[in-house]
Amino acid sequence: MTKTIHPIRTALRALAMSCAALLCAACAHRPAPGNAMPFDQAVNQAVDDLIVQTQKLPAFLAKVESSIKQSRIVIDPLLEGASGQQTEVTRVAEQRIVQRMQSQFKQFTVTPFNNTEIERAQYVLNGTLVRDKDSADGRYRLNLALTEIKSGVVIAQSVARISDATLDTRPTAFFRDSPVNGKDRGVEGYIRTAETQPGQAADALYLERLPTSTVLQEATAAYEAGRMSEALSRYEAASRRPDGQQLRIYSGLYLTQAQLGRTADAEKTFGTLARLGLETNNLSVKFLFKPGSTDFLADPKISAAYPMWLRQIARQAAQIDACVVVTGHTSRTGSESVNERLSLQRALSVKTRLVGEAPPLSKKLRESGMGFRENIVGTGADDASDALDRRVEFKVAPCEA
């Protein structure tokens, strides 16, 4: 029986790739998403559209495939497209996607996103929720993509516009607590894949990292459930993998060590996090200031670790053979000129603190203020949902002669 199934599977794979090419041609001129609709309806519409596209493959292919195995899909947790974070609303959207698929599309088995299931699944579904720049009212668009894991080809992609005036875009606990913005090259690949047209290749790095991403997600789930020892064990396991040098993984290590009172370990891990950010030129730290001030927030729950963060950033910056530009950012509240000035003052304040930790940095640091010109979220909510807009970035740059 095994010898019979093997050539059938081989033929099916070849036929599936041919069909994917046909789908690509058919979808090259797909119409723009339709009118905006309420959140729940938009999620259902996006799921339905996605699955209908898979049914454009020849009926006999689906019939023969089903005689061999039922298709298994893992859902990689949805992200907010601008920040690369999981939010309260992306979590709700993910739950609705699972419910819709389980109730309406029983030819698919939807399984948890974990290290065991990723090895058994044929497909991965991912998606982003993004503020629609083409919409006058700045509402949201949901992107979903279904990728065949083995071939790396996106076989279906759908878009739905959401009419709700407000959505709960607060980051979930891990992303809220993380000291840095974890949006790296792999996260950017996830976001690109969610917008990739059918028949095109998904982002290669995103797919390569899927097994490690499942370990990271299991660790994050344990962290958010308050199971810190389990979370630490899983973050440590993720960090030991060949592709474990990721900002989100080391953020998780730092957070769990701090929660468990392992202060020395937490400081060492933050130093690694700072080094990794500088090496990849992607270190954005969530220093929060008093409104209109260069002083850090006085709440010790928020700012107690800041002196250690500064100490480690200074040590890591002192060890690289380049200069570092310290750039302040503000949220979209108040006038442009006021925010330009305030962001520059905050960058100068951080620079001064770094030089206090490592005096030789006085010749290697420069300050810059961007105001709200490079907002990531851009809502001006001035709460946890747009904390990334009030970040301080550290960018490596050549030293001027």
Assess if residue 199 is contained within a domain: no
Q: Are residues 97 and 21 in the same domain?
A: yes
Among 272, 307, 327, give the residue marking a domain's end.
272
Q: Are residues 286 and 264 in the same domain?
A: no
Q: Are residues 91 and 116 in the same domain?
A: yes
Q: Are residues 260 and 290 in the same domain?
A: no
CA distance 75 to 160: 18
Assess if residue 204 is contained within a domain: no
Assess if residue 203 is contained within a domain: no
- Could you read off the pLDDT tens digit of each residue along the chain, which spans 401 residues? 444 444 444 444 444 444 444 444 444 444 456 789 999 999 999 999 999 998 875 543 454 355 445 789 999 999 999 999 999 999 999 999 999 999 999 889 999 999 999 999 999 999 999 987 666 555 899 999 999 999 999 999 999 999 998 899 999 999 999 999 999 999 999 999 999 999 999 999 999 999 999 999 999 999 999 999 999 999 999 999 999 999 999 999 999 999 999 999 999 999 999 999 999 999 999 998 888 889 998 889 989 999 999 999 999 999 999 999 999 898 888 888 888 999 999 999 999 999 999 999 999 999 998 888 878 776 766 666 677 778 899 999 999 74
Assess if residue 74 is contained within a domain: yes
Q: Are residues 294 and 395 in the same domain?
A: yes
Domain residues for the domain of 338 are 281-401
Q: Are residues 324 and 260 in the same domain?
A: no
Assess if residue 200 is contained within a domain: no
Positions of E strands within 63-177: 71-75, 79-80, 108-111, 123-131, 140-148, 153-161
Assess if residue 141 is contained within a domain: yes
Enter the pTM of the model. 0.87
Q: Are residues 236 and 301 in the same domain?
A: no
Assess if residue 201 is contained within a domain: no
Q: How many domains does the chain have?
A: 3
